[in-house]
Each structure stands twice: as structure tokens, then as C-alpha cells.
Structure 1
């Protein structure tokens, strides 16, 4: 990628899975990475692996649903590396108890909005003023194929992920002239550590049989797309939702 060397970025939810793979890829491209995770130990472990491989990274605790915690991770980027060029807002979760509209509780809905919508809202508020003052930067959000494919078994998660698409378009329209690029990546079925623990081999094979591809997704597939959007190669991509899914959702 062109233009990642020496850039400074935050990866929220970077302790495991897609976030960890993205942090590693960004560091391999020469970026300095601040990794945030609700599990600080995971964030620090991933950061140490990057440093051991010759990269630059630090790991900190991040509660993405807290404005103070979001402000703290932005400050960590400034304190450790002196700048902030991009923020990959990658938090997701809160799916336990999330079933159809007639059986999903208000508590489950509130938790899903906090993790899957509010966290991205707060990340934007914390990071964008710093990037605007610097002359620009990139906000990169993680959505989900569930936001657009239609899911009969979940209601809150798809709703809250779909809200990210509106956030992307708002940020791009409002702040594009100030150098801010906002995009989202909508992953398909990506075999993260967490998914592998809960997904049966039978279900995985059934999903693969319907997929117009030879395999299911890997965290590194998403990492490559994030790296592009953070880099100078992605400078003219703004306000988009990219479906990186092996063809499970086919859209313009």
C-alpha cells in the first residue's frame, strides 16, 4: 500500500479476530498502531506480537461505549506517536438473546445499540476533531452482512449495524471537504476465533455450499480492505460500504 508508512492509527476491538489481523497488517505496511480492546490483556498481547515482529504498536483498554474511554485512546495515539491519521472502529457484539422482533427484549436492544452503534458514534466524536486539525484522515467502520441481507433470527444486531451506514454517509458528506474520508466494510462469514468456537462444521459446510467462492472468509481478508482504505491508495474512496464477503451478498 502507498502512504501507510509512518501513519498513526487506532484499531478498536483489536485484541482478537478481524481487529488483530488488521492491526498486524497495518503494522506490516509501516503504520504505528494503537490497539484498543475491552480486554486490555488481549490488546497488549497483540501489540507485543507486532513489536516482536519489528512493528510499532501499543495496547490499551478501550470501552467503546464510553466517551471518556474513546477520548483516552485518542490521547494514547497522540502521546505515543504524536498524531492520528485513521481510526478503524471495529467493535461488535451484544448478540446474546437477540432473536426475532416479538421475542427480543428492550435490554438486548439497548445493549446492541450501545456496542454496535453508540461505540462508532463516540469513536467519531473523539477522533475526528484531531484528524480535522491535522488536515484530514480516515474513519473506517466495521458493519456486517447482516445489515443488508435480511436475517429472520436476529433483529437488534442488523438494525444497529445498518445505522453505521447512515453514519458513514453523514461523515463523508459533512466533513469530506475538511479531508475526512468515511467508509465501512461489511464482512461476510469470517472464521474468527470466536466464530470458530461456536459454529458447527455442519453449518459452516452448509454456508460454504451456498457461497459463490471456494472458501469462507479469513480475518486477513478484511484486514487487506481496511489497509487499503487507510492508505493513500484509498484517497478517493469516500462514503462507501464495501461488501467483503466472498459473494454471499451481491450488491452494486
Structure 2
């Protein structure tokens, strides 16, 4: 009996940023046959994620996505261990102003600077160092985890929303500039994706009820598997004619042409 290969069979993929959504990405990409290098600031999170997967095909490492040396290290590890790089999903984020009630007038600039350092500078660093080995391998795919906050116009979280909009601009630049060299770039914009971290942290009053009211799909919230399913397509050859797109995974909260 023949075995049907996965979407990512033998592709070498980096997952930069684990945790709630990231662990789901790693599981799905591994199930689809990818050889993975996964990284996160929290070494315990890395260890737990790798423990669930095949240690021969999945490597874990410490990663500070906003530190250039750290990003260079994870890219080098992927190439040295598996011989090439076919894709990267940049999934880390900083939300220092996510639960601050004020707008830009009340925004602490240290929170703004930290969000931009991680969510904007960090994504630039990952693209800068992942693109060359993917070109050398004959092409590849970059996926960013953005957010519907990039175009929602919320009255709070201005730093976070600005950083996510910047990620979309970077994604489109990559698709335009490096598309002729075989590089595709896309972004996933999740809405409320429920994962284990929500059981560990405080949520602003009313946010869950408000989100459910705005969703067209009322039966449940999104989960990491929903994001991972789309990510697997975008990283795969089945998604080879999709580039420069932002696709929402939000149960119908947003309507965009």
C-alpha cells in the first residue's frame, strides 16, 4: 500500500516563534513531512514542542527573533543540518501595549519601541537572512503571522497594529522584489485564536463576547490548527501560485476584497 506524501514532504522549514500558535504550526508541518528547525526565546517551550515530534526530523534551538546573530544562527543550523532552506514561518510577536486602555496620546514610548523592535525589526532580520539560502535552493516561501489588527482600526493597541501593518508592507516588498528569483511571500492574519496561553493570562473584560458577536462562525473560536492548515498550504508546492496575499483566519470577522 503506497503512502501519500504530505504537503511539505522533505521540505526544510524554520518555525520562528513557538507557543500558542507556533506549537500548532510545528505539529502540522512535521505531520506534513517537513524537516523542521523551531526556535523560541523560552527554552522550555522549545523543549516541550520538540518532545512531541520526531527528534530525527525536528531540531529545537533558542531564538531571539529581534537579534541578528540569533537569526543567523537558526538559518545556519537549518542549512547545515538539512542541506537547504525551503521556507520560514515567522510567528513571534510582542504585544507590550495589547492590554493598555489608552490611545496614542497615553502610549508609553518604551512599549512602542519594544513592539517595533520585535515585530518590525525582527521580521526584517528574518527575511534578510532567510531569503539568500532559499534563492540558492531554487526558491522558497515566507509566511508571516500578522493580525487582523493591521487593518481593523481599533481604538487601542496602536503599536501592535502599526507593527502588523508594517509586516504586510514587508511581505509585499519581498513578493515583488524576490518573486523573479523564486521567492513567494504571504501573511496570515488571525483573529482570536484560542490556545493554552489564554488559560494562563488575563483577558480584557468583554473581549471574548465581543469577538464571538462579530464572527460569522459562532460555534467556536479559531485554534492553532486553523492557522497551521493555511500555513502548510502557503509553504507547499500546492500554494506555488499564491504570493503577496494576506489571508484572514478569523471566522468571518473581517470583510476584505
Q: Which of the five TM-score ranges fits, normalised by the shorter chain?
A: over 0.9
CA–CA separation in structure 2 for the residues paired with 1:28 and 1:76: 21
**Superposed structure 1 runs of 4+ greater than 3 Å apart:** 96-99, 200-203
Match in the other structure for 1:68 = 69
CA–CA separation in structure 1 for the residues paired with 2:105 and 2:205: 30
| Aligned counterpart in structure 2 of residue 137 of structure 1, from 135, 140, 143 | 140
Do the aligned partners of 2:215 and 2:250 also contact (CA within 8 Å) in 1?
Answer: no
Displacement of 1:196 = 3.7
Q: Where does 1:189-204 land on structure 2 (aligned, <5 Å)?
A: 189-197=192-200, 198-199=202-203, 203-204=207-208
TM-score (norm. length: structure 2): 0.92
Do the aligned partners of 1:48 and 1:57 also contact (CA within 8 Å) in 2?
Answer: no
Do the aligned partners of 1:147 and 1:162 also contact (CA within 8 Å) in 2?
Answer: yes
Uncovered stretches (5+) of structure 2, i.e. residues with no partner: none
Match in the other structure for 2:23 = 20
1:233 and 2:238 correspond: yes
Do the aligned partners of 1:93 and 1:116 also contact (CA within 8 Å) in 2?
Answer: yes
1:87 and 2:88 correspond: yes
Q: Where does 1:1-252 land on structure 2 (aligned, <5 Å)?
A: 3-14=7-18, 16-51=19-54, 56-96=57-97, 98=100, 99-197=102-200, 198-199=202-203, 203-213=207-217, 214-252=219-257
TM-score (norm. length: structure 1): 0.94
Uncovered stretches (5+) of structure 1, i.e. residues with no partner: none
Displacement of 1:202 = 5.5
Q: 1:181 aligns to what SS in structure 2?
A: strand
CA–CA separation in structure 1 for the residues paired with 2:140 and 2:160: 28
Compute the RMSD of aligned alpha carbons: 1.7
Do the aligned partners of 1:44 and 1:58 also contact (CA within 8 Å) in 2?
Answer: no
